[in-house]
Amino acid sequence: MLYHAYEINHAAMAPLREAIEANKRLLESPYNPASYTWLGKTASAACDLFESATRRYAKPTWDLHTATINGVNVPIKERVVWEKPFCRMLHFERPATELQKAQKKAKAEPRVLLVAPLSGHYATLLRGTVEAFLPEHEVYVSDWADAREVPLSRGRFDLNDYIDYIIEMLEVLGPDAHIISICQPGPPVLAAISIMSEREHDSLPATMTFMGSPIDTRLSPTLPNRVAMEHSYEWFKENMIYTVPWPNKGVMRKVYPGFLQLSGFITMNQGRHAMAHRKYFEHLVEGDCDSAQKHRNFYDEYLAVLDLTEEFYLQTIRDIFQQHKLPKGEFYHRGKRVDPKKITQVGLMTIEGEKDDISGIGQTQVAHSLCPNIPEESQLDYIQPGVGHYGVFSGSTFRAEVKPKMQAFMRKHFDEKKEAHFQNSNEYLVRSLDD
């Protein structure tokens, strides 16, 4: 009933929102003398604040139209290259002719798959990450679907399906790509690479990078980790799962609603969000448009949330956050145990934030001990000083300090793979001539 109440409340607020919006337009009109007064500006700011607090935020757009390469603006085209009911893989294409003009010399561009978190926010949360990699890489990203928009007839989606999706996306990219797992995807991505390694899969990536990932939440547990342990699996099933109501496309699908996840995000930092909205109100009254727009840009992304399927959410809670099956060696995929020790040919990099309050220090680093058969020279662990969870993969510190280290690591293994491929080709040619 909670989901139905949420929908009814949104519908009931619609007439009031329309009235407030009309009043706001009146107060902001240059033909209205009140718009130039402190009282008029205050009333207009109050209307704006009400509108932003009661709006349902739609899925944001990527808005990535160009990438600057050696001072040249190269156009970007967003294209879907793979799609399943609950995810699609986007490629941010750079036209070859324009790219050649911008590059000083022709060179192979490492392919990067950014696996976005499926934990409440849309993949567009990685807009800044994608933008940072575009000048030097062919960038792909997993764009997860909102479960309330997927008809029940399209089937279920659980953690096993998630792993299968990762493998399929890597198959589309082919061998020697680079996969970057940001936050939540850490365990399923590690499981996917383990499975592919055991199968000696042709599409194994050259490197895998985990950023602020909950691979073993027993280490440096944070508030979200403790909440997962304080409640039973049955409690989550009874209190966090609701049925999608009409008129959503996913009507009758059982989900973990995005608005519940958002309430959890906000509760963790209530004071910070309250202060941000107070400053937003003050900026509107003062006419500080730049600061007000920065606030809008952030919250347009932050308040846009999606639903997770019941089976994916509950399996993640149980297997990853409560029973810690992957680090214990007890994680199974389609009836077969997942063994990260099978990974031997994929470079491993882990990145953590010193002040991360979502994935504590050590939760990502543990990937190195789980993958002991990766050569030491193919592993790199890095802790970024002074940043929290989001600073690990976005913002100025990420662009200035984290990204260059990631690129150097990927480029090193990319070049090594090319050299090995070249040597193997030469050996094959020599044998052919000898024969």
**Residue 427 burial by Cβ neighbours in a 10 Å radius (0-12, 13-18, 19+):** exposed
260's CB contacts (< 8 A; 6+ apart) are 240
139/310 Cα distance (integer angstroms) = 30
Q: How confident is the model at residue 124 (pLDDT cuts 50, 70, 90)?
A: very high
**Residue 35 burial by Cβ neighbours in a 10 Å radius (0-12, 13-18, 19+):** middle
15's CB contacts (< 8 A; 6+ apart) are none
**Residue pLDDT, tens place only, 342-385:** 999 999 999 999 999 899 999 999 999 999 999 999 999 999 99
- CB distance 70 to 103 below 8 Å: yes
What percent of the chain has a predicted confidence (pLDDT) above 70?
Answer: 92
Q: How many CB atoms neighbour CB 112 within 10 A?
A: 26
**Residue pLDDT, tens place only, 42-78:** 998 888 888 888 888 889 999 998 888 888 888 899 9
pLDDT at 53: 80
316/318 Cα distance (integer angstroms) = 5
pLDDT at 24: 87
**Residue 188 burial by Cβ neighbours in a 10 Å radius (0-12, 13-18, 19+):** buried
What φ, ψ does residue 37 adopt, rounded to 5°? -100, 160
Predicted confidence (pLDDT) at residue 155 exceeds the cutoff of 70:
yes
Q: Is the dihedral of CA 39, 43, 48, 54 positive or negative?
A: positive
- The 3-class SS string of the chain reads CHHHHHHHHHHHHHHHHHHHHHHHHHHHCCCCHHHHCHHHHHHHHHHHHHHHHHCCCCCCCCCCCEEEECCEEEECEEEEEEEECCEEEEEEECCHHHHHHHCCCCCCCCEEEEECCCCCECHHHHHHHHHHHCCCCEEEEEEECCHHHCCHHHCCCCHHHHHHHHHHHHHHHCCCCEEEEECCCHHHHHHHHHHHHHCCCCCCCCEEEEECCCCCCCCCCCHHHHHHHHCCHHHHHHHCCEECCCCCCCCCCEEECHHHHHHHHHHHCHHHHHHHHHHHHHHHHHCCHHHHHHHHHHHHHHCCECCEEHHHHHHHHHHHHHCCHHHHCCCEECCEECCHHHCCCCEEEEEEECCCCCCCCCCCCCHHHHCCCCCHHHEEEEEECCCCCHHHCCCHHHHHHHHHHHHHHHHHHHHHHHHHHHHHHHHHHHHHHHC
Considering only CA atoms, give the Rg of the chain.
24
213/186 Cα distance (integer angstroms) = 5
**Residue pLDDT, tens place only, 211-249:** 999 999 999 999 889 999 999 999 999 999 999 998 889
Q: How confident is the model at residue 105 (pLDDT cuts 50, 70, 90)?
A: low
122/106 Cα distance (integer angstroms) = 35
**Residue pLDDT, tens place only, 262-290:** 887 787 778 888 888 888 888 888 888 88
**Residue 167 burial by Cβ neighbours in a 10 Å radius (0-12, 13-18, 19+):** middle
What percent of the chain has a predicted confidence (pLDDT) above 90?
Answer: 60
pLDDT at 385: 95
Strand partners, 208: 179, 348
pLDDT at 69: 83
Predicted confidence (pLDDT) at residue 98 exceeds the cutoff of 90:
no
